Amino acid sequence: MVGVGAEPQPGASHVVVSLVKKYPNYLIINLDKLDYCASLKNLETVSEKENYKFIQGDICDPDFIKQLFETEKIDIVLHFAAQTHVDLSFWRALEFTYVNVYGTNVLVAAAHEANVEKFVYVSTDEVYGGSTDGEFDESSPKRPTNPYASSKAAAECFVQSYWERYQFPVVITRSSNVYGPHQYPEKVIPKFISLLQQNRKCCIHGSGLQRRNFLYATDVVEAFLTVLKEGKPGEIYNIGTNFEMSIVQLAKELIHLIKKTSSESEMEHWMDYVKDRPTNDLRYPMSSEKMHNLGWRPKVPWKEGIRKTIEWYKENFHNWKNSEKALEPFPVTEPCTQLSNL
């Protein structure tokens, strides 16, 4: 079995830790490039376990990936590896395409050649684009509006083609925003928490009225364990939650919890409104009925999850060498294409 890491999303390291602890008779291989957003400290609880193996490597290196599948007996692939930061994708669209599309193609091709028993591709609710009314189900059309979501949608097509062409047992998941410990603090929840803990203001894009669904890390772990056991080849599963909050609401809640104030004027003091990014979908409402039918539902209440997350960042913000850089505001000028970086 192999877990392919992607640390911007906290679910990856949590899934690896859970698999190592729950399945002592399986060897769990964690393949990670160790990009700027990765931290092996997130895996210290299992690093010395006999059934855990870390391999540093790049899914965009076909020779390396081919050799990996030839030398390791890999039964199941969980493919989390990706560039995932939406803001950054506007300035590095080609890099996102290279890693997320080409890298996925390399990995699924090697897995198919090695006759892997199940290949789970971890996608995102953002492939649907935004919606102001109805919920998306798995049959809804993909209408991505940013380079990150577009690259994930394209990668889905490559993965799905292996099912259509070869009946290779792939499963695709699309999840809501995951939050919790282990997440590199460039994402909105750990970023706001860390800024406030350092007596700095939350940076709000545009009006801040964009709403997001937040799913706690341990809930998404249970979802992936369910997909591993019950997910049917060729199927897509939404992993979502009905809990929804605007970015302004999120900032105010975190200010209340960290700065211990309910005063509207004091809350406004800790918020800094800046120019919005080129596109910013208002909502990503999803129906997760298919997952519910497999027996999964989110369990962790928001108040419990956010409390645990705040406490974790008090002690672990410096788990990444460049964590301070994650708190810098992104540029608000128009993005440009950078061909020289590839």
3-state secondary structure the chain: CEEECCCCCCHHHHHHHHHHHHCCCCCEEEEECCCCCCCHHHHCCCCCCCCEEEEECCCCCHHHHHHHHHHCCCCEEEECCCCCCHHHHCCCHHHHHHHHHHHHHHHHHHHHHCCCCEEEEEEEHHHHCCCCCCCECCCCCCCCCCHHHHHHHHHHHHHHHHHHHHCCCEEEEEECEEECCCCCCCCHHHHHHHHHHCCCCEEEECCCCCEEEEEEHHHHHHHHHHHHHHCCCCCEEEECCCCEEEHHHHHHHHHHHHHCCCCHHHHHHCEEEECCCCCCCCCCCECCHHHHHCCCCCCCCHHHHHHHHHHHHHHHHHHCCCHHHHHCCCCCCCCCCCHHHC
Q: Is the pLDDT of residue 197 over 90?
A: yes
Residue 213: what pLDDT? 93
What is the per-residue pLDDT for 144?
Answer: 95
pLDDT at 128: 96
Query: pTM, whole model, 2 decimals?
Result: 0.93
Q: Which is it for strands 118-124 and 170-175: parallel, antiparallel or unpaired?
A: parallel
Percent of the chain with pLDDT over 90: 82
Q: Is the pLDDT of residue 337 over 70?
A: no
The band of 10, judged by pLDDT with boundaries at 50, 70 and 90, is: low
pLDDT number for residue 87 = 84
Query: Exposed, middle or buried, 333 (CB in 10 Å: 0-12/13-18/19+)?
Result: exposed
**Among candidate residues 142, 139, 112, the one with its CA nearest the CA of residue 124:** 142
pLDDT at residue 116 greater than cutoff 90: yes
Per the structure block, which two tokens stand in for 229? 């056991």
48 is catalytic: no
State the pLDDT at residue 5.
53
- Whether the predicted pLDDT of 273 surpasses 80: yes
132 exposed, middle or buried (CB, 10 Å; 0-12, 13-18, 19+)?
Answer: exposed
pLDDT in tens, 206-256: 899 999 999 999 999 999 999 999 999 999 999 999 999 999 999 999 999
pLDDT of residue 4: 59
Strands 2-4 and 52-56: unpaired
Banded pLDDT at 340 (limits 50, 70, 90): very low
Predicted pLDDT at 9: 57
Could you tell me which residues are beta bridge partners of residue 205? 274
Q: Count CB atoms within 10 A of the CB of residue 335.
A: 17
In the set 7, 32, 87, 125, the catalytic residue is 125
| High-pLDDT (> 70) share of the chain, % | 93
- Residue 165 in this model has a pLDDT that exceeds 90: yes
Q: What is the mean pLDDT of residues 318-339?
A: 72
- Give 141-159 pLDDT, tens digit per residue: 999 999 999 999 999 999 9
Region 313-318: what's the mean pLDDT? 96
Q: Which of 128, 148, 162, 179 is catalytic?
A: 148
63 is catalytic: no
pLDDT score of 1: 65
Q: Could you say which of 7, 32, 87, 126 is catalytic?
A: 126
Mean pLDDT is lowest, of 13-22, 179-188, 203-212, 243-252, for: 203-212
**What angle separates helix 62-71 from helix 103-113, to the nearest 10 degrees?**
30
Residue 332 scores a pLDDT above 60 = no
Is 125 marked active-site? yes
Specify the pLDDT at position 86. Answer: 87
Domain 2-179+215-242+284-300 matching CATH 1.20.1280.290: the answer reads no
Please state the φ and ψ torsions of residue 213, each to the nearest 5 degrees.
Answer: -95, 125
